[in-house]
Amino acid sequence: MSKPNFAPLKLFITGPTYIRDDVKEAGSLPEFGHRDAENDLRFGPIRENLKKLGSTGGKYEVALLLGSGSTAMEASVRSLVAEGESILNVSVGAFGDMYYNLAAHNGKNAENLKFDYGKAIDLNVLEDKIKAMKPDLVSFTHNETSTGVVNDMKPVCELIRKHGAMPIVDGVSIFGGADIDLENSGAAMYSTATQKALGLPAGFGIAFISEEAEAKAEKVTGKGHHHDLTKHLGRARKNQTLTTPNCTLANQMCVQLDRIVNEEGIENRFARHLEMRGMVEQWADTLAGFEMFAPEGYRSPTVSTVLCPEGVTVAQLKKGVKEAMRAEGYLMDPGYGKLNTAMESEGRRLVFRVGHMGDITPEMLTEYLGKLEIELKKL
Ligand SMILES: Cc1ncc(COP(=O)(O)O)c(C=O)c1O
C-alpha cells in the first residue's frame, strides 16, 4: 500500500491538537462489536475515567455521542428546551454565538446576549437580561476558544439558578485540561469533545447529564433520534453508544484516559496546563508591542490569545507568520478567522492564538514560542 505524503506538522492550533505516538498506536488495537461484551472493556473504563476527570461526584451520567462537541450541544438544545420555552444564549465569542445558532436553527425561541470580544461574562449585565427575558434555560461557554477567555462556571450557574433557569454549558475546549469540578458547578448539562484537551482525534461529543436534565429530557418532545438524551442515556448505562461508535477512537480513548488518570495523574495534567498558560503570559510580556488579550483572572488554561501591535494585518498573520511556521514544521494559529476580520474592519488590534492543550509539554511549547518569536519580530 502506498502512503500519501502528508506533512508531519506539530499542531499548536486550538484543536484538533497534537496526538502522542502511543495514542496513535492504540488506534491499531483490535476492532470490536459495539453490542458485544468486548465493547464493555473499552467503554466501561472510558466512562469511569471521564467521570473522574470531570469530578462528577456521582451526580452526572456520561454519554458518548458519535459526532463532535456540537453534537452534544445540539442534543442539549433539542432535549432540554421544551415547546413554548425560551433559551438565552450568552456569548463571549464565536462559540457562544454557535450555541445560539444551534438553538435558533432548531426552531427554539432563543436570544443571544453578546459580550465584547476578549471580555468574560459580566454578571450584572446577565442578571438584567435574565430578569427582562425570564428564560427557561441559559447556555454559556466555559472556555471561549476564539478569544482565550475562561468564564467562572460556578457563579454564572448560581446566578442563572437564582432566577429559576437551567444552566447548560459548553466545555468543549477545556475539559481534560482543567479542574471543572462538575459536582459543585451547578451545570445541568456539560458538553465537551475528544479532540481538544483530551489529546485525541475528533469523533465523539461527550455529554455530562445531571438527573435534573434527564428528568427534563424525558418530558420534552420532538428530540429527533440522535439528539435524544433519553435514548443516549439508556445505552450509556449499559456502557454502550446509541449508534455505531468509532471503534478506533474508542480504543485510543480507553488507552489515553487510563494514561491520564493512572500514569500522568489528573492533578499533574491540570498543573501542566496552568504552567503553559504562565509560560505564554511571560513570553508575551517580553515581546515589545504584544500583550495578552484576555483580562487577568479570565485567561484560559488551554488556549492563549495574544494581541498584536497596531498595524499588523490579517494577511501578515495568515500568509507571513503562519506560512513561515509551516516551513519550520508547525501549524500556527493566526487568530480565529471571523474574529480577526471583524476586529480589522473595526480598526482594532488583531490577535493570534497559541493552543497549549492536551499532551503538549512545556518543552514543546518553549521550542515553539522561540521559533514564533523570530517570525513575529519580522512584522
Ligand atoms: C468552545 C467550543 N465550543 C464548541 C466547539 C465545536 O466543537 P466541535 O467542533 O467538536 O463540534 C468548539 C470547536 O472548536 C469550541 O472550541
Question: Which tens digit of pLDDT belongs to each residue from 20-71?
Answer: 999 999 999 999 999 999 999 999 999 999 999 999 999 999 999 999 999 9
pLDDT in tens, 304-328: 999 999 999 999 999 999 999 999 9
- Judged by phi (left if over 0) then psi (alpha if -120 to 50, else beta), residue 2 lies in beta
Within a domain: 280: yes
pLDDT in tens, 324-374: 999 999 999 999 999 999 999 999 999 999 999 999 999 999 999 999 999
Where in the sequence is the domain holding 348, given as residue range(s)?
266-376
* 170 Cβ below 6 A of ligand 1: yes
- Would you say how long the chain is, in residues? 379
pLDDT at 14 over 90: yes
> Residue 45 and residue 29: Cα distance in Å, rounded?
16
* 68 Cβ below 6 A of ligand 1: yes
Interval between CA 378 and ligand 1 midpoint (Å): 32
pLDDT at 214 over 90: yes
Torsion angles phi and psi, residue 292, rounded to 5: -65, 145
Mean pLDDT of 257-286: 98
CATH (domain of 317): 3.90.1150.10
Mean pLDDT of 290-305: 98
Report the atom number in ligand 1 closest to the C-alpha of 68: 10
Number of domains in the chain: 2
Question: Do the bridges between strand 189-193 and strand 204-210 make them parallel or antiparallel, or are there none, so unpaired?
Answer: antiparallel
Within a domain: 73: yes
Within a domain: 12: no
29 contacts: CB under 8 Å, gap ≥ 6: 251, 255
Q: Which of 11, 14, 172, 227 to mutate to test the pocket of ligand 1 (most atoms within 8 A of CB)?
A: 172
Torsion angles phi and psi, residue 235, rounded to 5: -75, -40
Same domain membership, residue 123 and residue 257: yes
Strand pairing partners for 65?
205
Contact 132, 279 (CB under 8 A): no
Torsion of CA 260, 361, 71, 335, to 10 degrees: 170
pLDDT at 282 over 90: yes
Interval between CA 288 and ligand 1 midpoint (Å): 32
pLDDT in tens, 99-129: 999 999 999 999 999 999 999 999 999 999 9
Which of the listed residues 215, 239, 262 is the one where a domain comes to its end? 262
Within a domain: 13: no
Within a domain: 270: yes
Within a domain: 349: yes
Which of the listed residues 262, 279, 308 is the one where a domain comes to its end? 262
- pLDDT above 70: percentage of residues in the chain: 100
Residue 101 cell numbers, joined: 445558532
Mean pLDDT of 6-32: 97
Within a domain: 1: no
Same domain membership, residue 363 and residue 285: yes
DSSP structure class, residue 273: H
Considering only CA atoms, which residue is closest to atom 7 of ligand 1? 69
Interval between CA 221 and ligand 1 midpoint (Å): 26
* 141 Cβ below 6 A of ligand 1: yes
Same domain membership, residue 229 and residue 117: yes
Same domain membership, residue 240 and residue 322: no
CA proximity to 252, closest of 6, 15, 21: 21
Question: Do the bridges between strand 86-91 and strand 137-141 make them parallel or antiparallel, or are there none, so unpaired?
Answer: parallel
257 contacts: CB under 8 Å, gap ≥ 6: 45, 46, 49, 50, 53, 198
Helix or strand holding residue 45 (H, E): helix 37-53
Interval between CA 95 and ligand 1 midpoint (Å): 7
Which of the listed residues 262, 283, 309 is the one where a domain comes to its end? 262
pLDDT at 279 over 90: yes
Within a domain: 100: yes
Residue 268 cell numbers, joined: 499533574
Report the atom number in ligand 1 closest to the C-alpha of 205: 10
pLDDT at 206 over 90: yes
Q: Which of 173, 180, 190, 200 to mutate to test the pocket of ligand 1 (most atoms within 8 A of CB)?
A: 173
> Mean pLDDT over all residues of the chain?
97
Same domain membership, residue 326 and residue 215: no
* 17 Cβ below 6 A of ligand 1: no
- In this structure, the number of other CB atoms found within 10 A of the CB of residue 345 comes to 9
What was the pLDDT predicted at 1?
Answer: 81
What was the pLDDT predicted at 58?
Answer: 97
What was the pLDDT predicted at 86?
Answer: 98
Interval between CA 327 and ligand 1 midpoint (Å): 28
Measured distance between the N- and C-terminal CA atoms of the chain, rounded to whole angstroms: 44
Same domain membership, residue 44 and residue 103: yes
